[in-house]
Structure 1
Amino acid sequence: MKQFVFAVLTRLSLGAMVMATGVAHAEVVVVGSKQIPFTQISKTKLRDLYTGQSQLVGDAKVLVIDREDTFDRREQFISRTLGFTSEEFATVQRLMECIGISKAPTVADNSQHMVEMLSNNPNALGYLSRDELENHPLGAKLQHIKVLAE
């Protein structure tokens, strides 16, 4: 069963990398608290964190924060940053949960909640629109995390 799931994940990831036109969209940025112990992350590691395959970056356990489906830029993050369609992303998350090796990301209720969780947790990782990052009073407690191409 696990081999089947990993085969599916590999095919989706490879297809996503071929179809993805870029690492990130100008409107959405990956961010973490200023205390998070890294300033860059590979696209593969970010994908593993958001699908629940991993909770670690190096030795640091990361609190992964996602957005509600209604967040208008969530689709941009999933497709342009993670390289999945929304359907593929949901399928991978469900597969990982079914085999019991996943931890779904924490979901922020809204932009304010996302910024608060990111700024109050030293190992939190999430994404914001560039405007949210630059214009929120707590934005100064956050840093941009560069997503590296594979």
Structure 2
Amino acid sequence: MSELKKICIAAIVSSTMFVALPALAEIVVIVSAKSAATALTEEQASDAFLGKNNTLPGGVQAVPVDQADGTALREQFYSKVSGKTSAQMKAYWSKQIFTGKGQPPKEAGDSAAIKALVAANPNIVGYVDKSVVDASVKVVLTLK
């Protein structure tokens, strides 16, 4: 093997050893600051986002909105609240749609877009990276 090939292989191997893994975001479930809802359990959040319950504690209507499909935050959220992967969630919603039992939450983009929607409507519930939270929204659940 030529010296150049050895150097190239060594460079490739060493560069892949130090690839940074994406940091896990601190995910929070939010409602509008105007909402009467004050807290959610992980089970209540799961039920809202899986279409099993459309109300929050206190009888507040819940209209869940999702992060864009394929985002790391969405993957982490569903893994934490439902224990399901992206593929399992797609299968779940395919079955729900096919049997007429429900529709998945609408996608609203990234954390900033979801925060803006939630802030403007007391019935919308979303999940975002904690770093975007401000006084326009209220954190009702922090996922660990």
- Give the TM-score, by structure 2 length: 0.72
Matched AA of 1:106: K
**Residues in 1 aligned to 2:36 and 2:82: alpha-carbon distance in whole angstroms:** 21
Q: Is the 8 A contact 1:62 1:124 kept in 2?
A: yes
Cα RMSD for the two superposed structures: 2.3
Aligned length: 120
Contact 2:31–2:140 (CA under 8 A) maintained in structure 1: yes
Q: Relative to 1, partners in 2 of residues 1:44 and 1:111: Cα closer, same or farther, differing over 3 Å?
A: closer
Q: Contact conserved, 1:65 with 1:114, CA < 8 A, in 2?
A: yes
2: CA distance, partners of 1:30 / 1:82: 14
Q: Percent identity?
A: 24
Which residue of structure 1 aligns with residue 105 of structure 2? 105
* Structure 1 residue 49, shift from structure 2 partner: 1.4
Match of 2:15 in 1: none
Aligned to 2:137: 142
Counting only pairs closer than 5 Å after superposition, residues 53-132 of structure 1 correspond to structure 2 as 53-58=52-57, 59-132=59-132
Q: State the structure with more CA Rg.
A: 2
Matched residue type, 1:145:
V
Long gaps (5+) in structure 2? 1-23
Residue deviations 1:51-105, cap 9 Å, x none? 2222122422111010102433211111123322222222222221121121321
Query: Greater helix percent: which structure?
Result: 1
In structure 1, give the amino acid aligned to 2:130. R
Give the C-alpha shift of residue 45 in structure 1: 2.3
State the Cα distance separating 1:108 from its structure 2 match. 0.7
Residue segments in structure 1 that go unaligned for 5+ positions in a row: 1-24, 134-138
The one-letter code sitting in structure 2 at the alignment partner of 1:121 is N
